[in-house]
Amino acid sequence: MIIDCHGHYTVLPPAHDAWRTAQVAAFKAGEAAPPYPVITDDEIRETIEANQLRLLRERGADMTIFSPRASAMAPHVGDQNVAIAWARACNDLIARVAGLYPDVFAPVCMLPQSPGADLSASVAELERCVGMGFIGCNLNPDPGGGRFQSPPLTDPYWFPIYEKMVELDVPAMIHVSGSCNPGLHATGAYYIAADTIAFMQLIEGDLFGQFPTLRFIIPHGGGAVPYHWGRYRGLADMLKKPDLSGHLMNNVFFDTCVYHQPGINLLADVIENKNILFGSEMVGAVRGIDPTTGHYFDDTKRYVDALDITDAQRHAIFEGNARRVFPRLDAQLKARGR
């Protein structure tokens, strides 16, 4: 089967987004947020079947690992209570999607990482969501929205969420949200910069010596890392760190959200096959048709299909690696005979 490791619920029932607008306005006015609206299963089906589900079928994938819309996680908006309520609303909607289409959508949660707050609320939300069948989480390395004021990912500040991830045996996709910085375009600059920054932070520490089973997916093809692989190998050497193959690459994985064939070719040439998971982030950052190919930029299966690799290597990218990185997904699939 073909598992897309990187999907977001990007086209939502209008009442959900309207409630978020009202929630933020109420916070600014010092008032209580209105009750969350009633959203019917038919409204959810309408948004899903016209978008992600339709495209999955058209493009030949079987399942997507599905999380709330990344650009709207926005933990920098409001305070911790606002972030908790918003995370719960978004995650509950993801749970409903997975409940309606259990063979197609595997749920992943966002966390209420309000800037300056500790991670106790995030730990509680992760535990709540895994109890509902979620298989992983999105971890925002910069909850401030482009200010980069949080401690590096190797800092003990993050250890409570890592300890819970290890206990529950779930990975995290490293994923920032909207940008408050006018100099950082959200999807074109901020996302790719944050991916690259996260990898460098991991080089500088010894996080996986402390948490040997912790697993991260760095999306968007690993940011700039594969293109500058020699730089990062050289920096690790200058910093007296072990070779990256042992220092990071038993625990860090990249997806294939790279929207042209030469980029995917480079990813497959530079990064070991065991570290690559198929992903598309369809109906996400780049939704148009590439005029040079006539196909959608985010139809990434085409690029993997065109790689000069063995069938076993292609199977690892499409399915095997995701089942290894997301063991709760593997267990769910096996329980269904898949």
- Residues marked active site are found at 281
User: Quick one: how far is CA 250 from the chain centroid?
Assistant: 18
> In which residue are the tokens 């006539």 written?
294
Q: For residues 198 and 158, what is the distance between their CA atoms, to the nearest angstrom?
A: 13
CA distances, 220 to each of 2, 30, 167, 176, 193 (Å)? 18, 38, 27, 12, 10
Q: Find the largest Cα–Cα distance for the chain.
A: 59
Q: For strand 136-139 and strand 3-9, is the pairing parallel, antiparallel, or unpaired?
A: unpaired
By the 8 A CB rule, do 72 and 12 touch? no
Amino acid 194 reads A
Q: Which residues of 41-58 are buried (b: 16+ CB within 10 A; e: fewer)?
A: eebbeebbeebbbebbee
SS3 for 87? helix
